[in-house]
Structure 1
C-alpha cells in the first residue's frame, strides 16, 4: 500500500516517531509531505525510508500543495501527524475521511492554556474526529483519550520505540555533582519553568542541564539560574550529551510518549518522570509536586538505594513495553484496516 505522511512539525520527536513507523512497516511504500519547524531540526530530516518526500514552507499558503501531491501519489492511507496538521488537513473537504489516520503526538487540549481555549481545542478535536477513520495515539494514554472523541474501535495505540543510537563518546559537564538532564524545546509544554525551579531548589546537590534550545531570552534566563543549556544540536550530539547524564528527568507538562525518554531508557539511564498521563497510564513511577521531585533528586544525589531502584525500574519497564515487536504488530493492525477487503481476508486466512 501507499501511505502518505503529512505533518507541519517535521523536526524533533515527530521526525523520530515517523521514521520509526516507516522502519517498522517497510512492506508499504511511504511518502512524506511536510514543513520543517524552524529551530527544531535534529539532522534526521533527510533520513527515513521514503519513496518520495516533499518539504514545503511552514505557512498556510502551502496548503495549496496538498491536493496536487495527493493526486500524484494516490495514497491508500493519509497519516496525519501533530495537532495542527491534523486540524488543517481534516478540514479540507477533498480529503477522503475513510483514508485518514491521525496521530496527535500530544493533544492540544492537554496544554496549560486558558480553560476556554482548552474547551475550544477539545470541541474542534471532537468535530474533526468525524472526519477520521482511525486515531492512532502515540502510546496507551493518547489512545485512551482518543476513545473519548471517537468510537474506541476506531482507535489504536502505537508505542513509540527507540531505534539504534549513534555510537558517540559521552559529553560530560564540568562538575563533580550528579548531572540531571532534560531534552526538548525550551517551552511551557516541556516544563522549562518546572525544571528551572527544580534546579534552583537542588543547586547544592546536583548540576542541571537542558539539552535543546528555544527563545533566546528564556535560554539566557535559564543560564542565569545556573542551568547548562546546550542549544539545538544534531541528534548525534544530543545522544552524546545524554550519555554524560547521571539522571534523565522528563519535566513536560503534557506530551505524547517522548522519544527522548525512550533514548534515555536505551542508554540505561535512571529516569525520573513528571506525573502526566503517558507515564501514569503505563504504571511508571512519577513525581507531581516540586517538593516530591526535590526530595527524589536529593535522595538520588545521596545515593539512597531505594531511589536508585525506583528510577532504574522506570527505564527497565519502558524498555519492555516499547519494543520494536510491539510497534511492528500495532502498525500491521493499523494499516491492514485499509487494505482492500479481499486482500485483507486472504491475509487473515493465510
Structure 2
C-alpha cells in the first residue's frame, strides 16, 4: 500500500479547506494508516472535524512565528520523512514546496508539489516576486509532478519554465452536498453582502470597504475572517452597516452564506478561489475580481459577476445595480456550473492517477 505524506507550513484559508476535502477522501481510498499530515500545532483547529476524526496521522510542529517556525518545520519534516518512509511526499503552497523540493537530494520517494496560487503573482512586492520567480525557475525540475488547481496556475507554470511532462492540471473540487446546517439570522431589507476570507492584502477586503463606504441605506455587509499573513490598515471603527464577525469555522461560514444575497471575493490575485465554489454549491451568487482562478470559475461573468480588481468604484456600481431577479438567475447558473465542473470525486481520482503515474516510472 502506498504511503503518503502531506506537508503544509500553513493550513489557514484555502489550503486548509482543500485538505479538509481531500484527506478524508484519501483515507477512504488508501486507509488512515497510510497517510500522514504535517501541520502547524497552533493551526490544528483550522482543520475541519472530518480531518481530525478521519484517523489520519497528524504530525504537528511548533510555529510561534513564521521565521522560527520554519526551522521547526524543517526539523520535524526531516524526522517524519525518515520515520514514516513515504512513497509520495505531497507539498502544499510555497514554503512547503521550497523545503520539500530543496531537501530532496538523493531521495527514494516521489515529490508532488501544489502551489495553491503562485507566489510570483503577488502584487505590491516586486523584489519578493522576482525572488520567488527565480526560486521557481531553479526548482522547476525538482518535483516529479506539479499539480495545478486551475488553468490560470497551469499557464503560469509554463511561463516559469516548467515542462509539460511535469505538470498535471487537477481543478479543485468539493463534495456535491454541503454539510447540513441552519442559516444565520440576518433580517435586513438592504442587499446582504458577505465577505469570507483572510484579511490580508491579497484578498482585498480593503477594496470592499472602500466600495461600500457611504452606502448605509442600500447595503448590509458582514466580514468573516481575520489577519493571517500580513495586516492591512483597516479602519479602527467600521461603519454602522459593516459587521466584523471574526474567524468562523466552516459551519459558521456556511450559515452566513445561506443568509446572504451575494458573496464578494475582491482578491488582488488568486490561484483558484475555493470560497467561490463553496458559495455556488449553496446557490449563492458570487461577485469577484476578474483575476486568476476566480475569472475562470465564473466564466468571465457567465456563472457569476466579475469586476476589475482594485476598483472600488466598479464594485460599488455593480453591487448597487443588482436586482432580485439578477441574483436568482446568477445563483441558478452558478449552481449548475458547480455541479458540472467541481466534483470532489473527480479531483480525488485525478490526483490518485498522478500518484500512480509517477510511482510507475
Q: Same fold (TM over 0.5)?
A: yes
Question: Is 1:291 paired with 2:313?
Answer: yes
Question: Is 1:331 paired with 2:332?
Answer: no
Q: What is the rounded CA distance, in whole Å, between the counterparts of 1:76 and 1:167 in structure 2?
A: 36
Deviation at 1:267, TM superposition (A): 0.8
Question: Is 1:78 paired with 2:89?
Answer: yes
Contact residue 262 and residue 319 of structure 1 kept, 8 A: no
Q: What is the rounded CA distance, in whole Å, between the counterparts of 2:272 and 2:352 in structure 1?
A: 20
Q: Secondary structure at the match of 2:317?
A: helix
* Aligned equivalent of 2:66: none
Contact residue 16 and residue 44 of structure 1 kept, 8 A: no
Bigger mean CA offset, 259-268 vs 276-285 = 276-285
Residue of structure 2 aligned with 1:208, choices 211, 221, 228: 221
Residue 2 to residue 48, structure 1, CA distance change in 2 (3 Å): farther
* Aligned equivalent of 1:154: 166
Question: Is 1:120 paired with 2:120?
Answer: no
Q: Secondary structure at the match of 2:4?
A: strand
Question: Is 1:190 paired with 2:235?
Answer: no
* Aligned equivalent of 1:250: 265
* Aligned equivalent of 1:265: 280
Q: What is the rounded CA distance, in whole Å, between the counterparts of 1:152 and 1:21 in structure 2?
A: 24
Q: Secondary structure at the match of 1:32?
A: strand
* Aligned equivalent of 1:178: 191
* Aligned equivalent of 2:337: 317
Counterparts of residues 6-155 of structure 1 (less than 5 Å): 6-25=7-26, 26-28=28-30, 29-35=34-40, 41=46, 43-44=48-49, 47=52, 49=54, 51-58=56-63, 59-62=69-72, 63-94=74-105, 96=107, 99-149=110-160, 150-155=162-167
Deviation at 1:315, TM superposition (A): 4.0
Q: Secondary structure at the match of 2:201?
A: coil
Deviation at 1:50, TM superposition (A): 5.1
* Aligned equivalent of 2:254: 239
Residue 38 to residue 196, structure 1, CA distance change in 2 (3 Å): farther
Q: What is the rounded CA distance, in whole Å, between the counterparts of 1:322 and 1:138 in structure 2?
A: 11
Q: What is the rounded CA distance, in whole Å, between the counterparts of 2:209 and 2:254 in structure 1?
A: 22
Q: What is the rounded CA distance, in whole Å, between the counterparts of 2:334 and 2:108 in structure 1?
A: 39
Unaligned runs of 5+ in 2: 64-68
Contact residue 86 and residue 102 of structure 1 kept, 8 A: yes
Residue of structure 1 aligned with 2:291, choices 243, 261, 276: 276
The TM-score with structure 2 as length reference comes to 0.84
Residue of structure 2 aligned with 1:169, choices 182, 189, 196: 182
- Paired residues in the alignment total 339
Residue 266 to residue 93, structure 1, CA distance change in 2 (3 Å): closer
Bigger mean CA offset, 17-26 vs 242-251 = 17-26
Deviation at 1:98, TM superposition (A): 6.5
Q: What is the rounded CA distance, in whole Å, between the counterparts of 1:4 and 1:101 in structure 2?
A: 10
Q: What is the rounded CA distance, in whole Å, between the counterparts of 1:241 and 1:260 in structure 2?
A: 13
Contact residue 213 and residue 230 of structure 1 kept, 8 A: no
Regions of 4+ moved over 6 Å: none
